[in-house]
Structure 1
């Protein structure tokens, strides 16, 4: 083979990400080699770039960044029969040891279990924004079990995961209270939020209780890294809490009369395929705020790290 590709990679532990030429990966059993057309950026890309998970899972360098991708199948490994060469697909590099492969590259090797066909009516950029954020949103919504008429507070609704959470909750008949900035109000309302709280004007819990004195029934928090950051006083006793960043501490929740869980998204085919269908038929709006070329992917990661992203940032690879 000997083919090379451009890829945004961390060349060695502790190094800054760089765009350089690397060998095109060889297809292996149970995997799919994809010519990448678009790759969605996620917070985990910065975590992996910074070595934040090196203690929990072995990393191999050069480590290619990016987990989500949409593109065209170039080769399939043994045992793969649900997609074939030339198919347009969307997929995800599942987190498994060793952490090495990624999608911010001209070619990506994806596990077949996390590759699904892309509907022809959905463009590559939009499709690439769905897998991880969509799977995280769905798992979060399932965790708080929203019933029609129940009220759920979504903290961090303005970001990529949040816009999906708001829509999925509204689709199940829940009353959605979303936090954002003033400029997010119209967009979040259109996505299905009943109330939008500007978190820059005062404590979220106080603002929620002013509108819902008995508290909300559920909380999905997409921003807090620890239990101290959760607005638990806004949730009535018996309510459910979900955190995507590990902030749901069982003891702290129990002391407040709450139950909850920390969410681990699993963007496998069975989870992503229905979300991709909803995106294609218009029942799930995909909010891509920024599209960048591969040589500016690092700028996109910096915007994510700075908390400046509204909606999804997607890197367009090639034409």
Structure 2
């Protein structure tokens, strides 16, 4: 099968011919029609996590996919061969299997039936980013009338977070580049702060001098990078990169949570139904054929990604 893989540690990803994977107990073999990229894929490609989790090579990139079930392993009874599905390869060691390939084996726990109203490209862009956004939004539990700042709203997770917050009746202030403003406002942001023109904190403070109720931060790795002084007492923080330090927040009368996305079928199936119902938009901004998949990784690495990037297959 053709796949985007890292042949050995330190080598760049390439399109290669690899043996197709085999189904095992508790797994689903999928003929992939589309695979979604996430920032995690770049980390795996360059071996950032190799000291935490063992990697095996050649390492196939991609964690999200949508396609048609080819076979199911023992104990799998919620999908069958021929079903259209989508899902995620959970991050468990050893890291080797991926979804940017003509065939992928996914754990049954992270495979859900694809609603007929949702196409393969859309479904492939949903699992990890959608689950991360939902975890972050649940972490701050926005209430009607509150104001939430989403830092790094221009990417895939941000595009979902903006919508999920707005759907709960809260006002969204999103940080992004100027050319993302119209797109994010269409997704539900009330205000878009251009982080390239000056201090985000100053711009938000000018717009909300009485303070804001919560922050979802998608770009910071440490609490001292967060504009915590914007929050009212009792304000909440959710971080996808571990920046919500409990002691720092508690000293300021704040609370927070570090989000670990869990794209299991119990999480992703309801999100897909929202997409099918038209209440959640999957913001795919770039689709690429497998031959150009490495370009998608390069876009993510450059920080220029907007919305979701999906690789398509003609198999």
Q: Same fold (TM over 0.5)?
A: yes
Per the TM alignment, residue 198 of structure 1 is displaced from its structure 2 partner at its CA by 1.0
Comparing 224-233 with 308-317, which one deviates more in the overlay? 224-233
SS in 2 for 1:169: helix
Structure 2 CA distance, aligned partners of 1:120 and 1:217? 38
SS in 2 for 1:218: strand
**Count of residue correspondences:** 315
Comparing 87-96 with 177-186, which one deviates more in the overlay? 177-186
For each residue in 1:148-190, what CA deviation from the matched residue of structure 2 results, as whole angstroms up to 9, or x when unmatched?
A: 1111100011111111000000111111111111111111111
Structure 2 CA distance, aligned partners of 1:220 and 1:196? 14
Q: Paired residue for 1:165?
A: 161
Give structure 1 stretches of 5+ with no counterpart.
Answer: none
For each residue in 1:227-269, what CA deviation from the matched residue of structure 2 results, as whole angstroms up to 9, or x when unmatched?
A: 2321212212211101111111222222332211111100000
Q: Paired residue for 1:228?
A: 224
Which of 284, 295, 300 is 2:296 aligned to?
300
Preserved contact between residue 205 and residue 232 of structure 1 (Cα < 8 Å): no
Per the TM alignment, residue 317 of structure 1 is displaced from its structure 2 partner at its CA by 1.4
Structure 1 CA distance, aligned partners of 2:313 and 2:75? 28
Which of 85, 101, 109 is 1:113 aligned to?
109
2:178 matched to 1:182? yes
Which of 41, 55, 78 is 2:51 aligned to?
55
2:314 matched to 1:318? yes
SS in 1 for 2:287: strand
Comparing 140-149 with 174-183, which one deviates more in the overlay? 174-183
Per the TM alignment, residue 104 of structure 1 is displaced from its structure 2 partner at its CA by 0.5
Per the TM alignment, residue 214 of structure 1 is displaced from its structure 2 partner at its CA by 2.0
SS in 2 for 1:200: coil
For each residue in 1:46-95, what CA deviation from the matched residue of structure 2 results, as whole angstroms up to 9, or x when unmatched?
A: 01111111111111111110000000000000000000000000010000
SS in 2 for 1:209: helix
2:238 matched to 1:242? yes
Structure 1 CA distance, aligned partners of 2:210 and 2:134? 26
SS in 2 for 1:20: strand
Structure 1 CA distance, aligned partners of 2:54 and 2:160? 31
Preserved contact between residue 11 and residue 17 of structure 1 (Cα < 8 Å): yes
Structure 1 CA distance, aligned partners of 2:229 and 2:14? 44
Structure 1 CA distance, aligned partners of 2:252 and 2:15? 48
Per the TM alignment, residue 107 of structure 1 is displaced from its structure 2 partner at its CA by 0.2
Comparing 67-76 with 116-125, which one deviates more in the overlay? 116-125
Alignment of structure 1 residues 203-282 onto 2, 5 Å: 203-282=199-278
